[in-house]
Each structure stands twice: as C-alpha cells, then as structure tokens.
Amino acid sequence: MRRILLLLIIMASASAYGQTYIKLNAPLVFAKAFNPSIETRISNKWTFEFDMLMTFRNETNDKGPFRILMLQPEGRYYFKEVNKGFFVGINTGYAMFRITKPHWLFKEDYDASHIYQMGWSVQAGFTIGYEMKIKDRWLIDVFFGGGRQWSIYEAFYYPDGGRYVGYNGSAEYLPYKGGINIGYRLGK
C-alpha cells in the first residue's frame, strides 16, 4: 500500500513539473516574518497552495513575545487560467502562537499590555487575489484572506511568567492572511 501511495505521489509530482511556483511574501520580510509558499497546478483552472508563516520575536525583547507558526493548505480557482488573473481560494489551517497584544492598543491599561497568550488555533476561510507574470519564470501574487478562527490559549504575565488566566477559548471572524508574493517557477 505504501509503495502504491508513493508511486501516485511521484506521478502527480512529475505531471506538475514546470508548473510549480515557490513564493515569498515580500512585505512580511521587513516585519521580521517569514512566509514562504508553494503552489502547483492540478487542472487548467485549479491549483493547490501550501502556506507557512513564521515570526521570531523572542521573549528577550522589551515588547514581549510575538512568535507564530501557521500552516495553511489552500485550493485556488482561477477565472481565466492557472497563475493568470483573478482567483478565489478556500483554505483551512492550524497555528501555534505565543504573542503579546500590541502596546498601542492598551495605552491606559498597563496590565493588559504586559500579558502574553500561548496556545493554538484552527482556521477556515476564503482568499481573493490576483496573479500576473512579470517575466517568463517570475510572477507577482497579491492576495487577502480571512475567515473563522477558533483558539484555545492560556494567558501569562510578561516578563515574570505568572499565570493570568488558565485555559480559555475564543472564536471570531478575522483576516489572517494577505500580502504580495514574489514567485519563481520551478522546472522548464
């Protein structure tokens, strides 16, 4: 069974050779975040994209932690043809986080600005965007997406680590992806 599955994966990869793009979300690099993705064609108007978002602000920073790892598979439908023009996508994802809420949001409340949350979340939503080729192998992908997010987390005081709230949960509609990807086509 494993050999058959491996053979199917190899055959699918071979048929997509030359139709796969690796991408990097350029604006997020300046925000000290790394957001690579890979997109491969599965039909004339459909692609599969896999996104990963990582941030690295550590606890030693005076502003508190801001670390996120988010993984998101997405199916995209192009109205013209793959990697050209407008598209819509449907996605789901998983994230782990250790974040401090922004200080500018809590100017009057010292305690709220010195609390960080640690937990995980799942997301499901939609993306809209536009892709255009800028050279033979290069493209620009402008996109924005959001949807429903369900989170489970604990809250702690920063920097001493004392517990503020035990396990808590929330569910909300949020924008959780967006940017300008620069993509490079692999293969021929």
Q: Which of the residue ranges 41-45, 82-86, 128-132, 158-162 would you say has the lowest mean pLDDT?
A: 158-162
Distance CA 35, CA 110 (A): 32
Identify the residue with better confidence: 157 or 58.
157
For the domain 2-185, what is the CATH code?
2.40.160.20
| 132 neighbors 140 (Cβ within 8 angstroms) | yes
pLDDT digits (tens, 9 = 90+) for 46-75: 999 999 999 877 655 556 677 899 999 999
Q: Which residue ranges make up each domain of the chain?
A: 2-185
| 185 neighbors 18 (Cβ within 8 angstroms) | yes
Give the contacts of 67 (CB within 8 A, at least 6 positions apart).
Answer: 55, 56, 57, 58, 97, 98, 99
Identify the residue with better confidence: 133 or 107.
133
Convert 39-57 into a string of H (helix), E (strand) and C (coil).
Answer: EEECCCCEEEEEEEEEECE
pLDDT digits (tens, 9 = 90+) for 97-116: 988 766 655 555 555 567 78
> Which pLDDT does position 58 carry in this prediction?
67
> Which pLDDT does position 14 carry in this prediction?
45
Long-range contact pairs involving 152-156 (C-beta distance under 8 Å, separation at least 24): 152/119, 152/120, 152/121, 153/97, 153/117, 153/118, 153/119, 153/120, 153/121, 154/117, 154/118, 154/119, 155/115, 155/116, 155/117, 155/118, 156/115, 156/116, 156/117, 156/118
